[in-house]
């Protein structure tokens, strides 16, 4: 099968023939229909990312963890629940499916977890992909391949907004207008926030009630002029050094901060800012299976619509070039491979 293969940090991905996956116990094989490029994939493929070094990706890895596909093969252990031809997405890992963490929808806490698309298990930048039956979710007819591939970033935003315990009418500040910032903004709107103000160098309107250009405007003053108050919650959705400090600077006394952006570099903060304001700082990681389920259901019923997040879909031939351009082009939002 064809796949977009990682060769070395800083080198473009190579479209190469690779061995097709063979199914393990309780697994499904899908023909990948769509797979989104995640910011973390761009970071992993770079030598010096502002987010810092992730564990180095082995040569020959296939990335991609935001995918949809059609089942083409079912392992015997999964045959009672799944059949060929079903349209699905899956949590981007394969775990045991039966331990307490797995049953609670948090398979990433399973002792046996292996992650899809980050060097551990091959990912969705390929024609075919192995997924775990326990981690797979059906896509209803109302969720097409593209929107289905947005379920993963939408679940990240949903998990973050759940952690914030918003009250209807709250004013919130979202730092970062990438896919995760926009997903967070959409969920804040959905859960009744009155002002959802997104702040970035190139602020994106989607999901926001207003935007602030972070390097041209004074953020706190402008927020107060728009919302008439300071933010009840600040969501940090960038994940590079310096952002946690900015979130603390922008939060008011008694405010809450949700750290969604995954910063893997050493960062420095002034704890006294957070202490003197008595801030509540909440780190969040990934999502639960239930977040995927709710995102799929609300997409199907058109209660939430992230489709404007999708900048482009490209085939294998254009994929390595587009992947390279996304490392510097911060105007593009979500780009997907259609293998």
Shortest spacing between CB 222 and Zn ion, in angstroms: 30
Stretch near Zn ion under the rule CB under 5 A, chosen from 55-63, 110-118, 294-302, 324-332: 110-118
Asked whether position 284 contacts Zn ion by CB under 5 A, the answer is: no
Which one, 33 or 289, has the nearer CB to Zn ion?
A: 289
CB 170 within 8 A of CB 155: no
Reported as type and span, the H/E element at residue 158 is helix 151-164
Shortest spacing between CB 180 and Zn ion, in angstroms: 8
Phi, psi of 250 (to 5 degrees): -80, -25
Return all residues near 239 (Cβ < 8 A) that are at least 6 apart: 39, 51, 176, 260, 261, 262, 263, 264
Residue 257 CA to residue 273 CA, distance in Å, equals 13
Shortest spacing between CB 329 and Zn ion, in angstroms: 18
CB 119 within 8 A of CB 58: yes
Which one, 38 or 304, has the nearer CB to Zn ion?
A: 38
Which one, 110 or 257, has the nearer CB to Zn ion?
A: 110
Stretch near Zn ion under the rule CB under 5 A, chosen from 103-111, 125-133, 289-297, 327-335: 103-111
Asked whether position 96 contacts Zn ion by CB under 5 A, the answer is: yes
Question: Considering CB under 5 A, how many residues would be counted as binding Zn ion?
Answer: 6
Return the SS3 of 190: helix
Answer for which of 15, 23, 42, 99 binds Zn ion (CB under 5 A) is 99
DSSP symbol at 293: H
DSSP symbol at 126: B
Asked whether position 286 contacts Zn ion by CB under 5 A, the answer is: no
Q: Tokens 């009155």 belong to which residue? A: 194
Identify which of 152, 136, 205, 211 has the alpha carbon closest to the alpha carbon of residue 34. Answer: 152
Asked whether position 188 contacts Zn ion by CB under 5 A, the answer is: no
Return the SS3 of 311: strand
Shortest spacing between CB 307 and Zn ion, in angstroms: 18
Shortest spacing between CB 156 and Zn ion, in angstroms: 7
Asked whether position 38 contacts Zn ion by CB under 5 A, the answer is: yes
Q: Tokens 């008439």 belong to which residue? A: 228
Stretch near Zn ion under the rule CB under 5 A, chosen from 18-26, 108-116, 195-203, 321-329: 108-116
Asked whether position 110 contacts Zn ion by CB under 5 A, the answer is: yes
Answer for which of 28, 102, 173, 243 binds Zn ion (CB under 5 A) is 102
Which one, 280 or 311, has the nearer CB to Zn ion?
A: 311
Shortest spacing between CB 41 and Zn ion, in angstroms: 7
Answer for which of 95, 208, 248, 260 binds Zn ion (CB under 5 A) is 95
Stretch near Zn ion under the rule CB under 5 A, chosen from 38-46, 208-216, 250-258, 278-286: 38-46
Reading the block at residue 97, the tokens are 């499916």
**β-strand partners of 129:** 30
Q: Tokens 């995954």 belong to which residue? A: 262
Residue 309 CA to residue 179 CA, distance in Å, equals 7
Shortest spacing between CB 309 and Zn ion, in angstroms: 13
Shortest spacing between CB 29 and Zn ion, in angstroms: 21
Residue burial 190-200, b: 16+ Cβ < 10 Å; e: rest:
bbebbbbbbbb
Asked whether position 337 contacts Zn ion by CB under 5 A, the answer is: no
Shortest spacing between CB 17 and Zn ion, in angstroms: 26
Which one, 9 or 99, has the nearer CB to Zn ion?
A: 99
Identify which of 339, 36, 14, 28 has the alpha carbon closest to the alpha carbon of residue 183. Answer: 36
Q: Which residues make up the interface to Zn ion (CB under 5 A)?
A: 38, 95-96, 99, 102, 110
């Amino acid at each position: 099968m064809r796949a977009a293969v990682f060769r070395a940090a800083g080198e473009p991905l190579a479209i190469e023939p690779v061995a097709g996956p063979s199914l393990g116990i309780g697994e499904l094989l899908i023909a990948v229909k769509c797979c989104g490029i995640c910011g973390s994939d761009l970071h992993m493929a770079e030598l010096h990312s502002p987010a810092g070094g992730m564990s180095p990706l082995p040569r020959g890895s296939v990335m991609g963890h935001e995918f949809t596909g059609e089942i083409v093969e079912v392992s015997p252990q999964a045959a009672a629940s799944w059949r060929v031809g079903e349209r699905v997405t899956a949590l981007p890992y394969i775990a045991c499916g039966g331990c307490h963490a797995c049953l609670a929808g948090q398979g990433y806490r399973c002792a046996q977890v292996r992650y899809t698309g980050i060097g551990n298990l091959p990912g969705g930048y390929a024609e075919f992909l192995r997924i775990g039956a326990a981690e797979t979710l059906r896509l209803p007819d109302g969720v097409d391949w593209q929107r289905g591939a947005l379920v993963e970033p939408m679940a990240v935003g949903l998990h973050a907004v759940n952690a914030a315990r918003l009250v209807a009418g709250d004013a919130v500040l979202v730092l970062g207008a990438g896919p995760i910032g926009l997903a967070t903004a959409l969920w804040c709107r959905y859960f009744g926030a009155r002002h959802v103000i997104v702040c970035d160098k190139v602020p994106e309107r989607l999901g926001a009630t207003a935007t602030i250009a972070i390097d041209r405007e004074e953020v706190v003053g402008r927020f107060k002029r728009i919302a008439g108050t300071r933010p009840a919650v600040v969501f940090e959705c960038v994940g590079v050094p310096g952002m946690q400090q900015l979130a603390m600077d922008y939060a008011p006394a008694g405010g809450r901060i949700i750290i969604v952006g995954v910063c893997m570099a050493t960062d420095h903060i002034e704890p006294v800012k957070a202490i003197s304001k008595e801030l509540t700082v909440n780190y969040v990681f990934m999502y639960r299976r239930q977040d995927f389920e709710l995102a799929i259901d609300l997409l199907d019923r058109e209660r939430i619509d992230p489709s404007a997040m999708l900048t482009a879909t490209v085939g294998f031939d254009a994929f390595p070039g587009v992947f390279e351009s996304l490392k510097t082009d911060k105007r593009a939002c979500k780009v997907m491979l259609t293998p």
